[in-house]
Structure 1
Amino acid sequence: MKYWSVLLMIGICIACQSPEAEQRKEAEVKKKTHPSENYHYVDLDVSQLAYQETLYVPVYSDIYHLDGTRRFALAATLSLRNINMQDSVYVTAIDYYDSEGDLVKHYIEKPIVLTPLQTVEIVVAHNDAAGGAGANFIVRWGSAKASDKFFAQAVMIGTASQQGLSFTTEAVVIESTSEQKQ
């Protein structure tokens, strides 16, 4: 009988956890499992950056399958990485366009800084079909030196029943400028 009493008391203690403790636990899980949205906005005169690039990153919110009349929904993650081990870089625009070339969303309104080896992500949910099969991101970034390094890549993944699909795309530089600042 004492054994059952002890089990009952343990069960009651577990069930009576404070809502605040549960919220903290959920926030910690979200922090570990959800995309980085911890952007560090900066006031920056973009014209003062010695080097700037505009990148085109193809993403697919869905792809056609079977006879082309059916679509397979995908989640897309845009990963932006400062691969410089010493210097920060600045992302000045992250814009999402649909298959028709129409702007769907601006993801940042001010420049953000990426410190050495920092990564930020943008996620387009699998149920967000606004972009279509020909969606893309235009990413603008810059730095104090032309030798700074930056890497942008998209990862698409989708599952349905027992079918799973994943693949990546990499950014293409569509414009760059390099100036000697005095």
Structure 2
Amino acid sequence: MKISYSLILAALLIGACQPQKKAENMKKMQHPSHKYTFVDLQSNAVNYLETNYVPIYSDIYHIDGTKRFLLTSTLSIRNTSLTDTAYVFSANYNDSYGKQLRKYIDSTILLKPLESIEFVVEYQEDQGGAGASFLVDWGARENAGQLLIQAVMTGTSNQQGLSFLTEAKIVKQMFRD
């Protein structure tokens, strides 16, 4: 009888630890849809530079404004050019106060024509807030305005589902001859 209680207790303890391990692994997980192409290129090597501000909602308020509905946010960066390459120099995630919470890339990503990349702000991230944002710095050798940058936010709770889209806003542009 003593052995049976010990086995049941051990099984319960092992089962209780599993979700915590899963949550820890999710924080470390990378979310690209494919392998990114990193290149050794600095922003001063391109003729066109742009900085985009992208609204991100890591949560929104609901009920009486005191409850938070957590969301998963996906930043999508798409090269819409049929012929020209673009370069993404940085994608930095900031909270509602403008404080940088995370850098998503450490070196330049090459985006071939019609290629896209994405970065995910996980559901468990609750520091960004309803006013969170990404700042994306990118450039191109010749063509300008070829990137489509959007964010889609999704969330579910019980049988309630929510999703919506935001668009980037250009906050800085520079042309070089």
Instruction: Look up the match of 2:85.
Output: 88
Which of 164, 167, 174 aligns to 1:167? It is 164
- 1:112-131 maps to which residues of 2 (within 5 A)? 112-131=109-128
Distance 2:42 2:93 in 1: 23
Q: CA RMSD for the aligned pairs?
A: 1.2
Instruction: Look up the match of 1:98.
Output: 95
Give 1 or 2 for the bigger CA radius of gyration: 1
Q: Which has the higher strand share?
A: 2
Unaligned runs of 5+ in 1: 1-33
Distance 2:53 2:157 in 1: 29
Structure 2 residue identity aligned to 1:61? S
Q: Does the aligned pair in 1 maintain the 2:51–2:171 contact within 8 Å?
A: yes
Q: CA deviation at 1:146?
A: 3.7
Structure 1 residue identity aligned to 2:120? V
Counterpart check, 1:58 vs 2:55? yes
Percent of pairs with identical residues: 48
Which of 45, 49, 72 aligns to 1:48? It is 45
Instruction: Look up the match of 2:5.
Output: none
Distance 2:59 2:34 in 1: 23
Distance 2:42 2:74 in 1: 28
Q: Output the TM-score relative to the length of structure 2.
A: 0.80
Distance 1:118 1:151 in 2: 11
Instruction: Look up the match of 1:132.
Output: 129
Q: Output the TM-score relative to the length of structure 1.
A: 0.78
Unaligned runs of 5+ in 2: 1-30
1:49-74 per-residue CA deviation (whole Å, 9 max, x = no partner) reads 10010000000010001111001110
Q: Does the aligned pair in 2 maintain the 1:89–1:148 contact within 8 Å?
A: no
Q: CA deviation at 1:45?
A: 2.7
Stretch of structure 1 that moved more, 41-50 or 161-170: 41-50
Q: Does the aligned pair in 2 maintain the 1:96–1:106 contact within 8 Å?
A: yes
